[in-house]
Amino acid sequence: MAASTANADNADRADTPQVTRTQVGIVGGGPAGLLLSHLLAKQGIENVVIELRDHETIKNTHRAGILEQQAVKMLTESGVDGRVLTHGDEHEGIDLRFNGESHPLNFPDLVDATVTLYAQNEVFIDLAAARKRDGGDIRYESEVIEVADLKSDTPKIRYKDVSAGADPDAVHEVHCDILVGADGSRSFCRRAVGQEQGHQDFKIEYPFAWFGILTEAPKSSPELIYANSPHGFALISQRSANVQRMYFQCDPAEKTEDWSDDRIWSELQKRVDGPDGFQLKTGPIFDKTVLGFRSFVREPMSHGNMFLAGDAAHTVPPTGAKGLNLAFADIKVLFEALDSFYATGSRELLDDYSETALKRVWKAQNFSYWMTSMLHTRKDAHPFETKRALGELETVTSSRYGQQYLAESYTGWPHA
Ligand SMILES: Cc1cc2nc3c(=O)[nH]c(=O)nc-3n(C[C@H](O)[C@H](O)[C@H](O)COP(=O)(O)OP(=O)(O)OC[C@H]3O[C@@H](n4cnc5c(N)ncnc54)[C@H](O)[C@@H]3O)c2cc1C
């Protein structure tokens, strides 16, 4: 079903907003917004996605890379594309490395599950292609500047077309039954509703960040290595046979231009050194970023007829690889609630959305916080704390129950 578009009053007046009427208006065309749009369209529920950036920019933005088994299923079983199975790299475990020794965890043996390395920009490419193939209404280069009437039966999205050559003063509107804010961690939709309206934000900052690189090099290890070292944390992960993704803990104020390739490789190597002589495989570095992180949750994840999903409602530090997976898990709950609403007219599942989604959100917050504190070293940490974290790593790796706890959380709990 196509959304209908009309000028509200008079087609000749530039100050008259161009209005589109649809069932679900979605702000943000990241993984959360596009997946929801795809699932709704399959059920015949019309929707429009308003996305600030252009297709090319999102396609070339490197972010998450680890998909839980259930996120993979959501892509393949909903007919997005099977590319995640042919181009993704299934991983059976991780190595926890501390005191210079690796401790492998085998997920199929521990919890009968795996994860798949498939970059977020590939997920975007597949979702965007599926929406295009199915005639989806995705408005790129469109900046939402207002969301209004959120408690009414017709919430409204106001946006400007920010593409080259567009009239910068023209305001467009989407009128919908349900408005979904899937507009990422700086969410405009979330900020439109404040604490005075009964909402609460829970957040903590961390005194460190990740320095991330993409390098053209062979794999250093078949599985991801999460390393705790006296010099700080490092993550050695893979993207493909020839491209690797690695991170090391750094000061949030660190500048990428201060880091030559040689300096980066020497820092990374220090953090994985050990008596086993483990050596990283190096190559030219073609992408460097400093990624600050925090833990954040907005409660409740809804306000009237506006529902928040993905990073708009919560962010996690990347240590547990939960950000993208949590966005997909929200969408599963929200899609089922919307499907039920349009099939039966009942708001029951919509009213339960926030409470249902938040159960998983807090489990993921706990896991991400736990992994972060166990693996990172604070600059001002008391030696007791450093030794305690090593004791925790020893506890986890030396016990099958400890390994299973980590493996179950990392590969993902069953969807609600
Ligand atoms: C640099 C970086 C590295 C990361 N690495 C990892 C990782 O290794 N593992 C992991 O699990 N997670 C990682 N994450 C987190 C992960 O990328 C997010 O959890 C995931 O993108 C959430 O998807 P989303 O759709 O909710 O939000 P987003 O992907 O942020 O999508 C939101 C979309 O909304 C659009 N938007 C914002 N404001 C407006 C507006 N006013 N009008 C219209 N559109 C708007 C944005 O352009 C964006 O495309 C990383 C994040 C960053 C920033």
The CATH number assigned to the domain holding 213 equals 3.30.9.10
The domain tally of the chain equals: 2
Active site residues: 91, 226, 318, 322, 410
Torsion sign (Cα): 173, 174, 176, 179? negative
**SS3 state of residue 110:** helix
- pLDDT surpassing 70 at residue 10: no
**DSSP symbol at 394:** H
Contacts of 83 (CB under 8 A, 6+ apart): 122, 126
Does 171 fall in a domain? yes
pLDDT mean over 102-122: 97
User: Does residue 263 share a domain with residue 325?
Assistant: no
Q: Is residue 126 located within the same domain as residue 184?
A: yes
CA angle 136, 138, 142 (to 5 degrees): 165
| Residue 210: inside a domain | yes
* pLDDT (0 to 100) of residue 198: 86
Tell me whether strands 101-106 and 93-98 are parallel, antiparallel or unpaired: antiparallel
Query: Would you call 108 helix, strand, or coil by DSSP?
Result: helix
Q: Which of 52, 63, 290, 332 to mutate to test the pocket of ligand 1 (most atoms within 8 A of CB)?
A: 63
- pLDDT at residue number 148: 97
**CATH number of the domain enclosing 65:** 3.50.50.60
Is the Cβ atom of 350 under 6 angstroms away from ligand 1?
Answer: no
Is 154 found in the same domain as 101? Answer: no
Q: What is the Å distance from ligand 1's center to 312 Cα? A: 9
Return the higher-pLDDT residue of 336 and 241.
336
Domain that includes residue 190, residue range: 4-78+121-202+295-367
DSSP codes, 351-367 = HHHHHHHHHHHHHHHHH
Distance 324 CA to ligand 1 centre (A): 8
Per-residue pLDDT tens over the stretch 341-400: 999 999 999 999 999 999 999 999 999 999 999 999 988 889 999 999 999 999 999 999
* Bridge partners, residue 296, by sequence: 203, 315
The answer to whether residue 84 is domain-embedded is no
State phi, psi for 74 to the nearest 5 degrees. Answer: -60, -35
Phi, psi of 252 (to 5 degrees): -60, -20
